Structure 1
Amino acid sequence: MFTQGKATPRNAEALRLVGVRKVHGTAEQPVNALDGVSLTLASGTFTAVMGPSGSGKSTLLQCAAGLDRPTAGTVHVDGAELTAGTETELTKFRRQRIGFVFQQFNLLPMLTVYQNVTLPLRLAGRKVDRRHCRAVLERVGLGQRLDHRPAELSGGQQQRVAIARTLVTSPSVIFADEPTGALDTRSARDVLVLLREAVHTFGQTVVMVTHDPVAASYAGSVLFLADGQLVGELRNPTAEAVAERMTHLADEVERRRVLAGA
Structure 2
Amino acid sequence: MATTGTSAVELRSLTRTYGRGEAAVHALRGIDLALPRGSFTAVMGPSGSGKSTFLQCAAGLDRPTGGEVLLGGEPITHLNENKLTKLRRSRVGFVFQSFNLLPSLTVQQNVLLPLRLAGASPDRRRAQALLADVGLDGHGRRRPGQLSGGQQQRVAIARALITRPEVIFADEPTGALDTGTARDILDLLRRAVDTMSATVVMVTHDPVAASRADRVLFLADGLLAGELHTPTPTAVADRMVTLTARGGTSLGAAA
Measured after TM superposition, the shift of residue 11 of structure 1 is 4.6
- Aligned partner of 1:93 in structure 2 is 87
Is contact 1:11-1:44 (8 Å) kept?
no
Pick aligned residue for 1:151 from 125, 128, 145: 145
State the alpha-carbon separation in 2 of the partners of residues 72 and 8 from structure 1: 24
- Aligned partner of 1:258 in structure 2 is none
State the alpha-carbon separation in 1 of the partners of residues 37 and 238 from structure 2: 28
String of CA shifts for 1:35-70, please: whole Å, max 9, x gaps.
001100110000000000000000000000000000
Pick aligned residue for 2:155 from 157, 161, 165: 161
Structure 2: 5+ residue stretches without partners: 250-255
- Structure 1 position 185 matched with structure 2 position 185: no
Q: 1:186-205, aligned counterparts within 5 Å?
A: 186-205=180-199
- Structure 1 position 224 matched with structure 2 position 212: no
Letter in 2 for 1:21: T
- Structure 1 position 251 matched with structure 2 position 245: yes
Is contact 1:13-1:43 (8 Å) kept?
yes
Letter in 1 for 2:89: R
Letter in 2 for 1:16: E
State the alpha-carbon separation in 2 of the partners of residues 8 and 80 from structure 1: 8
Alpha-carbon RMSD across the aligned residues, in angstroms, is 1.1
Pick aligned residue for 2:127 from 121, 133, 136: 133
Measured after TM superposition, the shift of residue 10 of structure 1 is 4.0
Measured after TM superposition, the shift of residue 9 of structure 1 is 3.4
Q: Percent identity?
A: 61
- Aligned partner of 2:252 in structure 1 is none
State the alpha-carbon separation in 2 of the partners of residues 213 and 9 from structure 1: 33
Pick aligned residue for 1:105 from 87, 90, 99: 99
- Aligned partner of 2:253 in structure 1 is none
String of CA shifts for 1:116-142, please: whole Å, max 9, x gaps.
000110110112222222111100001
- Structure 1 position 81 matched with structure 2 position 91: no
SS of structure 2 residue aligned to 1:13: coil
String of CA shifts for 1:162-215, please: whole Å, max 9, x gaps.
000011111111000000000011110000000000101111000000000000
Structure 1: 5+ residue stretches without partners: 1-6, 256-262
- Aligned partner of 1:40 in structure 2 is 34
Pick aligned residue for 2:54 from 60, 66, 78: 60
- Aligned partner of 1:4 in structure 2 is none
Is contact 2:68-2:77 (8 Å) kept?
yes
Structure exhibiting the larger radius of gyration computed from Cα positions: 1
String of CA shifts for 1:83-106, please: whole Å, max 9, x gaps.
121111111111110111000011
State the alpha-carbon separation in 2 of the partners of residues 77 and 189 from structure 1: 29
Matched residue pairs, number? 249
Is contact 2:107-2:140 (8 Å) kept?
yes
SS of structure 2 residue aligned to 1:106: coil
Letter in 2 for 1:214: V
State the alpha-carbon separation in 2 of the partners of residues 101 and 11 from structure 1: 25
Q: Report the TM-score when normalising by structure 1.
A: 0.93
State the alpha-carbon separation in 2 of the partners of residues 86 and 116 from structure 1: 27
Letter in 2 for 1:168: I
Is contact 2:150-2:182 (8 Å) kept?
yes
State the alpha-carbon separation in 1 of the partners of residues 229 and 192 from structure 2: 19
Letter in 1 for 2:92: I
